[in-house]
A and B are shown apart, each in its own frame.
Chain A
Amino acid sequence: MTDATLQTADAGRVDFRSPAAQAHLRKRYAVESRFKFYGVAAIAFAAFFIVFLVSDIVTKAIPAFTEHRLSITLTPTAERVAEGGRTDRQTLMAGDWNAVVRDGVGKYFPDVTNRAQRSKLYNELISIGGGDDIRNRVIADPSLLGKPVQAQVLLSDDSDLYFKGMMTERTEREGRGSIGVSGTSGDVSIATNVNDFAQDVARVRSDLQAAARRAQLEINRLKAALETVAPDRRAALQDQINRQIAVATDMDRRAKSVGGTELIGDSTSSVLVKMNGGVIKLTEIGNEKASGTVLIPLKDASEAKPGSWKIINLTTPEGSRKLSDQQIAWLDRMKEEGLVTQAFASRLFFSGDSREPELAGIIGGLTGTALTMLVTLVLCLPIGVLAAIYLEEFAPKNRLTDFIEININNLAAVPSIVFGLLGLAIFLNTFDMPRSSPLVGGLVLALLVLPTIIISSRAALKAVPPSIREAALGLGASKQQAVFQHVLPVAMPGVLTGTIIGMAHALGETAPLLMIGMVAFIIDVPRSVTESATVLPVQIFLWSDLPEPAFQAKTAAAIVILLLFLFVMNGAAIWLRRRFERRW
C-alpha cells in the first residue's frame, strides 16, 4: 500500500516533498521510535523487578546483621565451671557456664524464684550460647576465675526480635491522673482520678470486634464445609459451628457494650502499667479503674503522681506472640538497667549451622561451597579446555565428532536433577564415595558444568583469527605449539569467562546436591572434601523451611551473601577478561 501511494507519474522516481512521501517518512520514524520505546520499556520492566527483588531481600536481611546482647558483670565461680578446681581447657569447656550467666542475671531479678518462672527467664530470653563469651575469656585467662568479669551474654532470637521491634508494636504514654494501687504483688486493683484507660478500653473493644469478624468468617467457612462433609461427621461439625457462634456472639456483645469494665484475654492487645518501680499486667479494665497481676513487684503501694507512672500498650495480643507479657516486662527491665546492647552479628559469618537462630551462621555452607567449587574447578577446567582444544583443533571432522558435538550440546540442556541422580547412582552407589561430601558434590557439578565450558571454550577458540595459526605454522611451529603458545592465550579470556559463568551456574545449583545428600543438618565446618558438608544454596533452602521467624532474616542474609559471592565471581570474570585481552 505504501508503495502504491509513492508511485508518481514519473515511474521509478519519488517526489520526496509530496504528502504521501512525507507520510511514509513519518511512519518510518514512528516505527523506529516505537521500537525504541519497546526496548526501553522492556529494560525498565526488568530493572524494576531487579531493584524490587534486591531491595526486598536486602531489607529483610538487614536485621540479621545485628544482634542484641547483655553487657553484664559475671563472676565465674570455681564450683560452677572448674570441677575439682582444675582449670585446664577440657574441664572449663565442660563447665556449667549458663549457670554463671544465671547467677549474673539473677541479681537483677531477685523475686524470680520458682522453677517455671526461672526457666522462662533464663532459658527463653537468654540464648543457649549465652555463656560462650565468658567461657572463652576464662579459658584464655583462667586467673579470671572467681573475679567479676564484664562479659557479653547473647540474648535469644525472640528477645532479639522484641528489641528489633519485630515481635510487637509497643507504645508508652504517661498517666495523666494520680493512681492508687491495692498491693505490691499478686493480684491487685488500681484506680485513677481521670479516665486514663478510656482509650485502652476502646482499643480492647475494637480488638474484640475484629476477633468477632474473624470468627464469623470461620463460621461461614465451616457452614460451607458442612455441605460436603460425610454424614457421620456432620454432627461434630455442627457442634463446632454452634460453639463458634456462641463465642462470636459473646465477643460481638462485649464489643458493643458501653461503659463498665472489659476483660483482657489472649485475643486482645496487652496493657501494662508501670508504677513505683514495678509492672502490673491489667486483666480487667474500665475507664478509671482496672485490676491486674503484678509482673514485677512494686516497691510500695503508695499513690503515684500524674506523670510518674506509665501505661504501656503491646499491640500484638499475648496469644499471638512468642514472648509473654511477663517476659517482655523482664526484657524492658534489662533495658532500663542498661544491660542491653546492639552489636554486629559476627556469628552470621563465623559459625556453623544451628537450630538456634541466634547461633546459626553460614561458615559451614560457605566452606562447603568453596570446597565443592574447588573440586568442580580442578576437574572441569582442564578437562573442559582440553576437550574443547582437541575437538576444535585436532579432531578430524567426521560423523563421530559431529555426534559427540551434538551430544555435548544436548548435555548442556539436561535438567540438573538428572546429574544428581547420576551422581547418586555412580559416585555413591557404585564407587561408594562418602555421602554428602564436597568431593561428590564437586564431581556432580563438574559433570553439570563441563558441557558449558566445552561449548564456550570452543567458541572462544573458533573466534581466534586463523592468521595467528598461520603465522605460527609458517614459522615452523608444530600444530601443538601453535595451539598452546598462540591460539590458547588469545582464546583465554573467552575460556575463562565461560568457565566462570559455568561456575556461577554451579554455585547456585541445589537440586543435584539434594540427591547426593548434601542437604543434611551439619554443624561442623568441613575441613576436607570427604567430610560431610552442605553448600550455601542448600543452607538457604534449609533455613527457609524453619519455623523460627528469626530464620527469615537469616535466610535473606544468606541470599545476600550468595549474591555477593556471585557478583565477586562475575567481577573476577570481567577482570580476567580485561587482564588477558590482547589487542588484535
Chain B
Amino acid sequence: MNVLSQTEFSGPTMGIGMADGESAVTARGVDVYYGDKHAIKNLSVDIPAKAVTAFIGPSGCGKSTFLRCVNRMNDTIPICRVTGDIKLDGRDIYDPTLDVVQLRAQVGMVFQKPNPFPKSIFDNVAYGPKIHGLTSNKTELAELVEKSLRRASLWEEVKDRLDASGTGLSGGQQQRLCIARAIAVSPDVILMDEPCSALDPIATAKIEELIDELRQNYTIIIVTHSMQQAARVSQKTAFFHLGTLVEEGPTKTIFTNPHDKRTQDYITGRFG
C-alpha cells in the first residue's frame, strides 16, 4: 500500500520552476559558532536554482544565521566562526582566495527593515554598479537603474522623482527600492531576511508578487516568520529548529503533510 513516500521528495531536485533541478547553493556539514554558542549544527541543505526557498523556524533557530553565511555577512561579527562547506555554483564561498566583495555582488541581500541609503532614489540603485564598476558611462548607468527599478516594479511609481530621497518613500516602496538596489548588480542569488516583517499587508502582497516574478531569473532564499507567506511564495521550504535543519521539502508537502513531528507542531501552532 505505497500511498505516500517521503523519500520521493528528498534530494535537491524539487521546486516547481526548476526544470533541470540544478542546485544554486549547496551546504554540507555546516557548523556556526558565536563564541561558545553553537548556533548551527551540522547543517546540509541544497538550494534549488531559479526558485524560492523559504527558511522557517522559531526565533533563534539559526535560519538568519545560515542566510548570512551565504554572503558571508557573518564575517563582520568577530566572534563568529563558520566551518563546513558552502558552495555557490560549485565554488567554496569560504575559500580564502575568493574575494568577499565579489561574492556579495553575486549574492544580494534584502534586510528585515527597509534600509535605503539616505540618498536619492537614483543613487541608491546606482551605488552597487558604481562600486563594482559595472557601467562605463552615465547613459549605461541610467539604463541599468531604470531596468533594475522596472524589475522591482518600482519604476512607474518613482520615475518622476529619481532625485528625491529614498528614505521619503513608503515602507513597501523602500523595500522594493532595496530589492532594486540588490538586483542592480545582477546577483545570482538574492537573500531576503524577513523582508515583509515591517510592512502592511498590501505592501507585503506587492513584495510577494515581486518575489514571484523575480523567481524566473534569480535564486531566492527568504527567511520569514509568516508561515502563510512561506507557503505562498516558496517552492521549497526548510524548517530549522535549535540550530538544526529538521525538515526540508516541497512547500506543499511541508504545509499539508510534514514528516517530522516538530515541523508539524511548529506549523500548526503547537510549540512551546
In the complex they form, do A and B come into direct contact, defined as C-beta atoms under 8 angstroms apart? yes
> What residues make up the interface of A, taking CB atoms closer than 8 Å to B?
396-397, 465, 467-479, 481, 485-486, 489-490, 582-584
Residues of B within 8 A of A470 (CB): 73, 76, 109, 111, 115
Is B150 among interface residues, defined by CB-CB distance under 8 A?
A: no
Q: Does B181 contact A (CB under 8 A)?
A: yes
Q: Chain B contacts of A472 at CB under 8 A?
A: 117, 127
Check if A582 sits within 8 Å of B128, measured CB to CB. Answer: no
| Pair B131/A474 contact, Cβ less than 8 Å | no
- 16 additional contacts (CB under 8 A) given A471-B111, A472-B117, A473-B76: A397-B78, A467-B113, A468-B117, A470-B111, A471-B117, A473-B73, A474-B71, A474-B73, A474-B109, A475-B127, A475-B181, A476-B132, A478-B101, A582-B118, A582-B167, A583-B167
Report if B182 contacts A (CB, 8 A): yes
Inter-chain contact A476/B104, CB cutoff 8 Å: yes
CB distance from B166 to the nearest CB of A (A): 10
Which chain A residues border B109 with CB–CB below 8 Å?
A: 470, 474
A481 CA / B78 CA spacing, docked (Å): 19
Q: Report Cα–Cα, A474/B111, bound state, in Å.
A: 9
Separation of A489 and B117 alpha carbons in the complex (Å)? 10
Q: Which residue from chain B places its CB closest to the CB of A479 in the assembled complex? A: B76
Chain B residues touching A, majority SS:
helix
A583 touches B115 (CB 8 A): no
| Interface status of B83 (Cβ within 8 A of chain A) | no
CA distance A478 to B76 in the complex (A): 11
Size band of the B side of the interface?
20 to 34
Say if the beta carbon of B121 comes within 8 Å of chain A.
no
Determine if B131 and A477 form an interchain contact, defined as CB atoms under 8 angstroms apart.
yes
Q: A397-B78, A490-B118, A584-B118 are in contact. Are A474 and B104 (CB under 8 A)?
A: yes
Cross-chain pairs A/B with CB under 8 angstroms, 29 sampled:
A396-B78, A468-B117, A470-B73, A470-B109, A470-B115, A471-B116, A471-B181, A472-B117, A472-B127, A473-B73, A473-B76, A473-B104, A474-B71, A474-B108, A474-B109, A475-B104, A475-B127, A475-B128, A475-B185, A476-B101, A476-B102, A476-B103, A476-B131, A476-B132, A485-B127, A490-B118, A582-B118, A582-B167, A583-B165
- Give B24 Cβ to nearest chain A Cβ, in Å: 18
For residue A287, give the distance in angstroms from its CB to the closest CB of chain B.
Answer: 88
Q: How far is the CB of B194 from chain A (nearest CB, A)?
A: 13
Bound Cα distance A584, B165 (Å): 10
Q: Which residues of B contact A486 (CB under 8 A)?
A: 117
Question: What's the minimum C-beta distance from A451 to chain B, rounded to whole angstroms?
Answer: 26
Return chain A residues, CB-CB under 8 Å to B76: 469-470, 473, 479
Asked whether A467 lies within 8 Å of B117 as measured between CB atoms, the reply is no
Q: How far is the CA of A467 from the CA of B168 in the complex (A)?
A: 17
- B51 interfacial contact with A, CB 8 Å: no
When chains A and B are docked, how far (Å) is the Cα of A476 from the Cα of B178? 14
The 8 closest A-B pairs by CB, nearest first: A582-B118, A476-B104, A474-B109, A467-B115, A476-B105, A475-B128, A471-B115, A476-B101
B104 cross-chain contacts in A, Cβ below 8 A: 473-476
- A583→B128 CA distance, assembly (Å): 22
- Look across to chain A and name the residue whose beta carbon is closest to the beta carbon of B191: A474
Closest beta carbon of chain B to A538's beta carbon, Å: 43
With a cutoff of 8 Å between Cβ atoms, the chain A residues found around residue B181 in the complex are: 471, 475
Give a binary string over B57-97; 1 marks a CB under 8 Å from any A CB, 0 the rest. 00000000000000101001010000000000000000000
Compute how far the CA of A490 lies from the CA of B127 in the bound complex, rounded to whole angstroms.
Answer: 16
Instruction: Determine how close the nearest CB of chain A comes to the CB of B253; give it in whole angstroms.
Output: 32
Rounded to whole angstroms, the CA-CA distance of A479 and B167 in the bound complex is 22
Query: What chain A residues lie within 8 Å of B102 (beta carbons)?
Result: 476
Q: With contacts A471-B115, A486-B117 known, is A476 near B128, CB below 8 A?
A: yes
Minimum C-beta distance from B138 to chain A (A): 19
Cα separation A140 to B168 with both chains bound (whole Å): 62
B117 touches A584 (CB 8 A): no
What separation, in Å, do the CA atoms of A75 and B68 have in the docked complex? 91
Q: CA separation between A490 and B116, bound complex, in Å?
A: 12
Encoded as 1 (CB less than 8 Å from any A CB) or 0, chain B from 105 to 146 comes to 100110101011110000000011001100000000000000
Give the Cβ gap from A48 to chain B, nearest Cβ, in Å.
Answer: 42
The CA of A27 and the CA of B169, in the complex, are separated in Å by 48
What 1/0 flags go to B165-185 for Cβ under 8 Å of A? Answer: 101100000000010011001
Chain B's closest residue to A474 (CB) is B109
- For the complex, what is the distance from the CA of A476 to the CA of B182, rounded to whole Å? 10
**Distance between Cα atoms of A471 and B127 in the complex (Å):** 11
Q: With A and B bound together, what is the CA distance between A481 and B103 in angstroms?
A: 16
Chain A residue with the shortest CB-CB distance to B127: A475
Q: How far is the CB of B73 from chain A (nearest CB, A)?
A: 6
A470 to B108, CA, bound (A): 11
- Distance in angstroms from A447 CB to nearest chain B CB is 32
**Max chain B CB contacts within 10 Å: which of A470, A473, A475?**
A475
A476 to B122 Cα, complex, angstroms: 18
A475 touches B131 (CB 8 A): yes
Q: Tell me, rounded to whole Å, the shortest Cβ–Cβ distance linking A120 to chain B.
A: 72
Q: A478 to chain B: which residues have CB within 8 Å?
A: 101
How near does chain B come to A353, taking the closest CB pair, in angstroms? 49
Q: How far is the CB of A207 from chain B (nearest CB, A)?
A: 76
- A471→B185 CA distance, assembly (Å): 13
Q: Closest Cβ of chain B: how far from A291's Cβ, in Å? A: 89
Chain A residues with CB under 8 Å of B111's CB are: 467, 470-471, 474
Across-interface contacts of B118 in A (CB, < 8 A): 468, 489-490, 582-584
Query: Which of A474, A489, A583 has the largest count of B CB atoms less than 10 A from its CB?
Result: A474
Looking at A470, A582, A583, the one whose CB has the most chain B CB atoms below 10 A away is: A470
Chain B residues with Cβ below 8 Å from A468 are 115, 117-118
The distance in angstroms between the C-alpha atoms of A583 and B182, with both chains bound, is: 22
How far is B111's CA from A259's CA once the two chains are assembled, in angstroms? 104
Q: Which B residue sits closest to A583, measured CB to CB?
A: B167
Tell me the complex Cα distance, A490–B165, Å: 14
- Residue of A at shortest CB range from B167? A583
- Please name all residues of chain B whose beta carbon is closer than 8 Å to the beta carbon of A469 when the two chains form the complex: 76
A306 to B127, CA, bound (A): 95
Closest to B168 in A: A583
A584 to B76: give the CA distance in the assembly, Å: 23
| List of B residues within 8 angstroms of A489 by Cβ | 118
A467: chain B residues at CB < 8 Å are 111, 113, 115
Residue on B nearest A581 in the bound complex, by CB: B118
Q: Closest residue of chain B to A489, judged by CB?
A: B118
A465 to chain B, nearest CB (A): 8
- The answer, among B78, B165, B167, B182, for a CB contact under 8 Å with A475, is B182
Q: What residues on B are CB-neighbors of A474 within 8 Å? A: 71, 73, 104, 108-109, 111, 182
- A55 CB to nearest chain B CB (Å): 43
CB neighbours (8 Å) of A485 from chain B are: 127
In the assembled complex, the Cα of A477 lies from the Cα of B73 at a distance in Å of: 12
Q: How far is the CA of A60 from the CA of B108 in the complex (A)?
A: 68
In the assembly, what is the distance between CA of A378 and CA of B42, in Å?
Answer: 55
Q: Mark B215-258, 1 if CB is under 8 A from A, else 0.
A: 00000000000000000000000000000000000000000000
The answer to whether B185 and A476 touch across the interface, beta carbons within 8 angstroms, is: yes
Shortest C-beta distance, A570 to chain B (Å), equals 25
Provide the bound-state CA to CA distance between A486 and B118, in Å: 8
Q: Bound complex: CA of A486 vs CA of B182, how far in Å?
A: 16
Residue of B nearest to A490 (CB): B118
Task: Give complex CA distance A468, B73 in Å.
Answer: 13
User: How far apart are A401's CB and chain B's nearest CB, in angstroms?
Assistant: 12
Please, how many angstroms separate the alpha-carbon atoms of A468 and B178 in the complex? 11
CA distance A473 to B105 in the complex (A): 10
Give the Cβ gap from A292 to chain B, nearest Cβ, in Å: 84
